[in-house]
Amino acid sequence: MASPDVETDLIYTLKKEAGSALPIDIWYEGEMWIFHPIGSIDTTTSSDLEGTLIEGINQGMRWIILDLTDVRYISSAGIRVFIAAAKTLKEKKGELLFSTPNKNVSDILRLSGLFKIFKVYPDNAAAIRSFTVK
């Protein structure tokens, strides 16, 4: 990994790129990056998440966990962002995982079929452990 100053600058850059419609906290543990969007991921905010994910992937992030703790709702626009990011990460030998979805978000993931496509973990620690055993 790069020096702490570079990592801090990267996190600042990504948060700045995210815009104000969808706050996104970003941090890393080892080689795993955790994106924690806050609010609803819908047609109004999905471009914020998409831009942040693309910027991170372009800067070398390969292992991303989406912490859905504070996501209230995901529309089809959000689902499209997840699928596009996962496809890009797969091409770069990376992966996108989900952690801590609430009941409403879990229901959306299940009904949309994303539970069959993505790995979903009860918390960030479990998602991180899944990366370290590879």
Q: Taking the CB of residue 31, how many other CB atoms lie within 10 A of it?
A: 14
Structure-block tokens of residue 14 = 């990504």
Q: What is the pLDDT along the chain (134 residues), one digit of tens a residue?
A: 333 344 444 554 455 454 558 999 999 887 889 999 999 999 999 999 999 999 999 999 999 999 999 999 999 999 999 999 999 999 999 999 999 999 999 999 999 999 999 999 999 999 999 986 55
φ, ψ dihedrals at 17, nearest 5°: -65, -25
- H-type alpha helices, 59-123: 76-91, 103-111, 114-117
- Is the domain covering 4-132 a CATH 3.40.50.2300 domain? no
